[in-house]
Structure 1
């Protein structure tokens, strides 16, 4: 990995405030599952990632990774900001490759990028092939995301449908307008 990616130590991008608020403009990130810890109103030392200049953030202790294509600050310096060394490297391709690497840190509390992770070798196809792989994987990712987002809505809709039909099927009109229906 170290042959194709360089890293930026994020010390200068660390948030100093402990006050986060959703109304603030700049996300504060971690490479872990939480990803966006909150938002800050700090204006200085914001890392300027963008759609045209994305980065991978790498948790130096857990090896978790996140794709970032928007400006951000970080909570901790215990991560690396990874960038391609060469324009013939599609960083999104590398990000997808990183998702497939089984890596056991074995309870060791040590920085992983320099000591181990950067030593891992991955095959790099020509740029056109990288781009085609990324296109296919992005399509699957979008489909999966859409399905995951749609499942709760679908469950809610089916529940309402069930309640509607349950009420229709189990609500009886009196056979005789003057008599009540006996309920068991």
Structure 2
């Protein structure tokens, strides 16, 4: 904050709408062109990388109806469909003169007043994210209009002296770009490390759960476990128990529960879910499209069974009927074979795999937590550097509310 005060050095700050500091843009007239264009649709921009990763080549004879907006170098495009996802990027030289979807708001900076990256960092800010969430409409398919995006206000330091204003903006942009680059490098390093850890984990899991012929007894799920499906909750009262159904992660919370903790779950139907194996450590509500599995034998640990089943995802997918809506029949699951090492050996294997599991998958331990902390650190300092004095109108509203 001291740095920001010194940088501003008492100069005035005027808050202007994005509409005030951007230029009009134009749409393509397909009937007047014969060349092909690269089409930047909503899936072309990576949410994580904030960059265009793939485009389609289109011409007037096959252009989608939404392929309309011509873009230039340094334009910022922001997806107004599902805007809370923050899908946006700056257009570089490679995509100058191409066509973007009408699902984007195109922001073309008045470069004598604001830097394109000044707009970029404000679009990335928590203030803009909160603004979008407050002003989007629709629950199933939320969206925000271009006009509403352009009503968002950003500060313009020293507006009476454009040269000094751009110098101030450039210094803050330089620092934020450095933060962005460092965070990206750290995240890449940590992600590479996490990938290596997962590969290592899968290697050791395969080794620990592979048994020679005759080394252990093999028995079926049906011999050793209780296997059943759940049912839909009665009513829609919100409570503390996660609802686990065909998805790969719990969703929603209900006031009641119908399943004990330390239970294995795996979807019985649904695209993308078959083969996923979860382990619920707390009481939960099991849905009608999900199997719940627990060991009923003193000779088999449910946690060991989880690790073996999770390691057998390909085999489980092979049991399912994948035509139409994928479905895993109970009779196939009941007949699935499970190894039976001694309880002591099961305990040893579980201890090793649980430790690997925590390092690779838990958001509160190990590398995933470190990646999340690095991102939060970046966002914290970014928002500090963008903490300009609020416009007088907003200060008056806040005072009135108090």
Q: How does 1:1-184 map onto structure 2 within 5 Å?
A: 1-11=221-231, 14-18=232-236, 20=238, 24-33=239-248, 35-41=249-255, 43=256, 46-50=257-261, 54-61=262-269, 62-74=274-286, 76-101=287-312, 102=314, 103-104=317-318, 105=320, 107-108=322-323, 109=325, 111-144=327-360, 145=362, 146=365, 147-157=367-377, 159=378
- Distance in 1, matches of 2:247 and 2:340, equals 26
Q: TM-score, normalised by structure 1?
A: 0.68
Report the aligned-residue RMSD. Answer: 2.5
Contact 1:27 1:40 (C-alpha < 8 Å) held by counterparts? yes
* Greater RCO (CA < 8 Å, at least 6 residues apart): 1
- Indicate how the Cα distance of structure 1 residues 91 and 63 shifts in structure 2: closer, same or farther if over 3 A, else same: same
- Distance in 2, matches of 1:149 and 1:31, equals 27
- Cα drift, residue 2 of structure 1: 2.4
The aligned length equals: 148
- Indicate how the Cα distance of structure 1 residues 36 and 16 shifts in structure 2: closer, same or farther if over 3 A, else same: same
Deviations 1:64-104 (A, max 9, x none): 32111212223x31222111120111111111111111123
Structure showing greater Rg: 2
- Distance in 1, matches of 2:282 and 2:240, equals 11
From the two aligned structures, give the one with the greater helix fraction: 2
- Indicate how the Cα distance of structure 1 residues 48 and 81 shifts in structure 2: closer, same or farther if over 3 A, else same: closer
- Distance in 1, matches of 2:259 and 2:336, equals 28
- Distance in 1, matches of 2:237 and 2:253, equals 8
- Distance in 1, matches of 2:243 and 2:339, equals 33
- Distance in 2, matches of 1:135 and 1:40, equals 32
1:170 is aligned to none
- Indicate how the Cα distance of structure 1 residues 130 and 113 shifts in structure 2: closer, same or farther if over 3 A, else same: farther
Deviations 1:106-153 (A, max 9, x none): 523464242322222132211111111000000111112221121121
- Distance in 1, matches of 2:241 and 2:375, equals 34
Unaligned regions of 5+ residues in structure 1, if any? 164-184
Q: TM-score, normalised by structure 2?
A: 0.33
- Distance in 1, matches of 2:263 and 2:276, equals 14
